[in-house]
Amino acid sequence: MVPALTLVCAFSGRRARIASMTPTTFSVRTLGCQMNVHDSERMAGLLLDAGYVPVADVPEAAARATEAGDQGADIVVVNTCSVRENAATRLFGNLGQLAAVKRERPGMQIAVGGCLAQQMREDIVAKAPWVDVVFGTHNIDVLPVLLERARHNNAAAVEIEESLKVFPSTLPTKRDNPYAAWVSISVGCNNTCTFCIVPSLRGKERDRRPGEILAEIQAVVDAGAIEVTLLGQNVNSYGVGFGDRQAFAKLLRACGEIKGLERVRFTSPHPAAFSDDVIDAMAETDNVMPSLHMPLQSGSDEILRQMRRSYRSKKFLGILERVRAKMPDAAITTDIIVGFPGETEEDFQATLDVVEASRFSSAFTFQYSPRPGTPAADRTDQVPPEVVTERYQRLIALQDRISTEENEALEGTDAEVLVTSTAGRKDGSNDRISGRARDNRLVHVTVPEGGDVPRPGDFVTATVTHGAPHYLVADSGLTGGTFSVRRTRAGDAYEAEQRAKEAERARPNAVGLGMPRIRR
């Protein structure tokens, strides 16, 4: 039984909203990696399941959005990242902006979760006392309870767990769109890279059983998804926890047996554990896409050793060679850190040499920033910032040249594009729709006048007419060239979702009161 006092307090805290029949709205802001995106979908699912309403579904609430990023919501959740040095600075800058909004919005609550919350804990409230809730990476499931506790006690609720209690993928989910889904296969990381804080915040690697993963994939496919991305800090070490080192390759092949699943991707693997059985599974499974994100970090063997990255440049290049031998059209992306402590000009040149040889389609490049609590942060041989910046600019110039050359080489070829609901920068002024090709390149496609307009979740095929460093343009439909649309059940699901939202908004007093549900 739930104590009557709890019910009274929860009710009294919402009295004004109940009187005006307005809901309690929420927004979730995501900073960081794909795992954070996955976790944010779980946070949104928990809040939705607890009776709160996405602010985007309440136009009168969304209309009061400010430049602080609150989106007009009553509950603002910030899912943080701690990978970059300025992560804390950015967070507290944003929290400062939200404080001003909170003063003008009675009953507003601010919650901070994610890796930085796991790291800083009570210090977040000490520095930003207007924050109501702090929770970590291991206890996403308690978010609704902590919000109610903070409201009831009129005091910040801080709760951090040292190890995972509930696997995030078992929690309710509100996905950003119905046509694509993130599915976590593992959490945590067993590596000890000297620059990375993630293992201490996410914990040791824990694998889900294959049956659980495949059941979740089947569920999202049944709900309309046609693309799934498998997530883990090191996906190709999946299975070590239950004694099957080929489990990831088997999982990829099993995905190929799921009817209606058209595209499978995964991120991120680790070069040290990337094996030929995974390459074979990728090449031989029709719905596994020819795209691979393979983090390099540095092309210098000495720097890789100091990073505790258990591979060297020769092994890395060998992986790319074997991937391209089996999948000639594969697009390979990477991560690179510039200015790791002790990096010499010779070390940096080695990175440039490997980048030149690798021919990445794109690269996520970072200037090294020390993270407190990591071995690299304590080193006294930090590279001067001006040197790091100069090297970084040289790397960017090299990769932009390579990306441009690789994309220009695709001019005249056809691209099958899964249309997304997020418009690219080229869309508004050019009446283009955007999406991802099979190799995960961003493609902007022009719909010819009178042509069939694809919905998010549909496929469009067009000929690439221009290759730029960061995207492709396919304007073939303008001149009578290739342009075809394949409508999908994912597009049907998107359209049905939009119709349902419009119908709900049109109904008077249709939105719930935002009262939390009582669990026994």
Per-residue pLDDT of the chain (520 residues; tens, 9 = 90+): 333 333 333 433 343 344 345 789 999 998 877 777 888 998 999 999 999 999 999 999 999 999 999 999 999 999 988 766 577 788 888 999 999 999 999 899 999 998 888 888 899 999 999 999 999 888 899 999 999 999 999 999 999 887 777 777 778 888 888 999 999 999 888 888 999 877 777 778 889 999 999 999 999 999 999 999 999 888 989 998 899 999 999 999 999 999 999 999 999 899 998 999 999 999 999 999 999 999 999 999 999 999 999 999 999 999 999 999 999 999 999 999 999 999 999 999 999 999 999 999 999 999 998 887 899 999 999 999 999 999 999 999 999 999 999 999 999 999 999 999 875 555 555 678 999 999 999 999 999 988 899 999 999 999 999 999 999 999 999 999 999 999 999 999 999 988 887 877 676 655 444 444 443 3
pLDDT at 520: 33
- Is 9 one of the annotated binding-site residues? no
Give the dihedral sign, CA 58/64/70/71. Answer: positive
Q: Cα dist. 57→53, 105, 112 in Å?
A: 7, 19, 22
3-state secondary structure of 87: helix
> Which residue, 502, 485, 456, 57, is CA-closest to 227?
456
189 marked ligand binding residue = yes
Strand locations in 361-513 (E): 362-367, 414-419, 432-436, 442-446, 459-463, 466-467, 472-474, 483-486
Distance CA 380, CA 357 (A): 32
Residue 255 labelled as part of a binding site: no
Check: CB of residue 27 under 8 Å from CB of residue 473: no
What is the spatial distance between Cα 435 and Cα 217, in angstroms, rounded to a whole number?
Answer: 22
pLDDT, residue 429, reads 55
Answer positive or negative: Cα dihedral of 159, 164, 168, 172: negative
Looking at residue 17, its pLDDT comes to: 45
Domain 168-409 class, CATH top level: alpha beta
User: What top-level class would CATH report for the domain 413-502?
Assistant: mainly beta
Contact 179, 457 (CB under 8 A): yes
25-159, what's its fold? Rossmann fold (3.40.50)
Provide the token pair at 273: 């554990």
Q: Where are the domains of the chain?
A: 25-159, 168-409, 413-502
CB contact set of 294 (below 8 Å; sequence gap of 6+): 269, 271, 274, 316, 319, 320, 332, 333, 334
Check if the beta carbon of residue 451 is closer than 8 Å to that of residue 430: no
pLDDT value of residue 151? 94
Fold agreement between 25-159 and 168-409: no
* E strand or H helix at 280: helix 276-284
Is residue 450 exposed (0-12), middle (13-18) or buried (19+ Cβ within 10 Å)?
exposed
Residue 111, strand partner residues: 77, 133
Q: Which amino acid is at 73?
A: A
Among the residues of 50-158, which ranges form H helices? 59-62, 87-104, 115-120, 122-127, 143-153
Distance of CA 10 to the CA centre of its chain: 33
pLDDT of 212? 94
Sorted by sequence, the CB contacts under 8 Å of residue 418 that are 6+ apart come out as: 179, 180, 226, 227, 263, 435, 436, 457, 458, 459
For residue 197, the model assigns a pLDDT of: 79
Q: Is 81 annotated as a binding residue?
A: yes
Where b means 16+ CB within 10 Å and e means fewer, 110-139 reads: bbbbbbbbbbbbeebbeebebbbbbbbbbb
> CA-to-CA distance for 414 and 35, rounded, in angstroms?
32
User: Global pTM?
Assistant: 0.82
Could you tell me if 153 and 200 are in contact, meaning their C-beta atoms sit under 8 angstroms apart? no
